[in-house]
Structure 1
């Protein structure tokens, strides 16, 4: 029979925003169900475990009897609204029956995923997302002695480079597509705390070439990555390498919010000053409400939990305005150059799950037509990678309205959806 859990609040997501929210909710003696696909809290940013003092805080939270932690579980369906009821799949035990969780209030801390832009060769073995490469290294992938290049845009490149260097990789360079003037403007407006972090990161990466206004145009190799073609808009050159981590920032995870019926704006969950979504008793916090970094996530998790409890957050509003200014700085200073949208060729794969190339999609009128004619978006990722790409390159509407989002949110065995 399916397992059922009841609580006062459901929190989906165990990254920094979820952790900050859980702390406030448990202090208020609320019974909480905490759901995350990962096996341990920390999210993508703290995959190897949160830093102190959060590590100690987390240990205390996990021991609280009011908390039901469902790690290694994915939300696959919304079964009812009002008194929210979600259907989950146990990712560690695929044969286990579905899990049902229910509560009158919900907090979404869904995080974000990497943004990809296709270029010839981007599916070669050895090419991965910058964050994906970092995650592989943190989980023990042997990188020592390998020639590694990081390319794309945003601070994640430097964080990934730092991880790769610490693991013994031979870092060839970090290629940042944003021009030097934009980066200078970004650095000049950094808050002091962020500036200190940047200086520390820069010191650890001293000696590693950092090249603004440079981007990858092609990955080269027979059966695996052997070299990368780079450009600065005036000339092109090749650089032999063993691994390429490339990423163009992050995209908010919004699928569950869309399925619930929350309003989406600018690709993120729309929230008010109290972090409440357009749906009553559904709050959202962190990167799913807009990309802004760990400080924004922690603060919004705290604000969302306090407002869910009916408590004041006036003492946090000034800090929140500051982190939102930093989020806007990220958005404007690392804006993508138009040349990146012209790299994909007719034979370049767009949907990696179903092997659909750009040439096949150019003749389609919409996402629905593409699914019917080519199976684009019908693979394991359910359009999470190719959906935003087609929205960017082909102008097809994104989100639930454009892609016809429905349960299950990800491939799941039929028995997980059945009541027994």
Structure 2
């Protein structure tokens, strides 16, 4: 018999919904891709110890590490301690340090496991930054910590730098200092203000073309220290413009959770690699799609990954910075954690209608791995939130 439940609509009413999706099969062995694919992973909170979730959220380290093994088993590299892990929105630098230490140690137990770690300036309150040197010191501390523990850094965008920089030259000075000191190649991180309003005007301009010129000049001046750049502007034309102008050997990582399918496939000339938060939520589907693409089966790639795009656009809808709630919601529905709570209570950032829409779209994209469990958990959430 079909699994059915009542779900709320935007007009305040209820509708009967019957699940129609089919769980995606798991690969028999770790698949190989012809694109580098990082999944930005979330952290699992521990409600049993979460006495001050806004100020000092507790993390369930066992479940958090288990989820990383889930991603590695599907062929992904992990982008650790990024905004998907609620950096600056529930996970402070002390928590990020513990997460980085544990994940780097865990990666050593998995043959071929890929891991890169976010290093930013979030322990520096932007209001306390008085000079570019303050920003440089903050970056030095975090990049140094990652490298000290044997990791590779993703140089996250800095709220403090966005606040005090007066021109593109200020960005060149800061990035030049840090990249010049880095032991290994670094991935840069261009995060749009839809993800973090405090990053408005990054690279020294609120207009795309001047910002593009600025970041390309930074890459050109430090080419031997830049593996690539992740761009998250939710505008595929902007990403293609960056991709077309990158120097040979510098990779473009799509962070476009609205248009990733076409950007990863490419335009026949160039393509993007991936560093995506949505891959946390749709890992089995993205793994199957990427493995198909590597095998030359573009039809299966499209058939599997394209249904996940409407789901991703719903999860990342404005206010985009609250997308983490949808990612963790799906982890709960799929049995990767036993509760739907998040650091800083972030699960409250979205409403019941949003979650109902995510549930429907996840079903249609075959993202619900255990439909009966997902339906039972959805019913319990509806009850808690007062939906009859």
TM-score computed with the length of structure 1 as normaliser: 0.26
TM-score computed with the length of structure 2 as normaliser: 0.27
More strand by share: 1
Max radius of gyration: which structure?
A: 1
More helix by share: 2
